[in-house]
Chain A
Amino acid sequence: MEGHDFALWEKRIDALMVLCGGKGLFTVDGLRRALEDMGEEAFEKYSYYERWIAATNQNLIEAGVYTLEELGQRMEEIAARGPTYGEAQGD
């Protein structure tokens, strides 16, 4: 029953949650609410940090930090950079 070590992208999600919370962009309560709103199915389908990045993004959109258009555009750019996580990083 050992825990695993987290991958870099998971650690980054963790860091984003903590830092954005600390800066008052959202609260843990807001994250929990977004998680709950994903429904029971999400708990079966997605991993822990997949759900948390979805909740983080939801809260940042609601806080007006960036728009859906900016997000969509950025995600397209990222996919075009390369087929792996490493290659999809920006400069």
Chain B
Amino acid sequence: MTRVRVKSMFPPGHVRAPFYVRGKTGEVEREIGPFGNPEQLAYGLKAEKKTLYRVRFSMQELWGETAENPTDTVDVEVYAHWLEEV
């Protein structure tokens, strides 16, 4: 499985990568396919196609010591331009 990190960027405006996964590392669960970039669609702009992935994060990675059960997971859909391979 490919390990990826969500970029730790915090621009103002409509961003689809949820706050709680930014800067966090997970594994690609599956590639879903190309979808219009919501950061352009949200402002009525013509949207480039971006590949959407499902990324699986462990609770340990997301919440550290306060994780309820470290090996439980959260799957989140993240667009390619928010991901970097690690």
Contact = CB atoms under 8 A, between A and B. Distances in A.
B44 A62 contact: yes
Contacts of B41: 27, 29-30
A29 B42 CA distance: 4
Interface string B24-65: 000000000000101101111000000000000000000000
B44 A32 contact: no
A49 interface: no
Interface residues of B, number: 10
Interface residues of A, number: 10
A36 interface: yes
A17 to B, nearest CB: 15
A75 interface: no
B43 to A, nearest CB: 7
A29 B79 CA distance: 14
A68 to B, nearest CB: 17
Nearest to B39: A29
A62 B14 CA distance: 16
Nearest to A59: B44
A38 to B, nearest CB: 12
Interface string A7-34: 0000000000000000000110110110
Contacts of B38: 27, 29, 32
A59 B43 CA distance: 9
Q: Residue among B13, B39, B42 with the most chain A CB within 10 A? A: B42
Contacts of A29: 14, 16, 38-39, 41-42
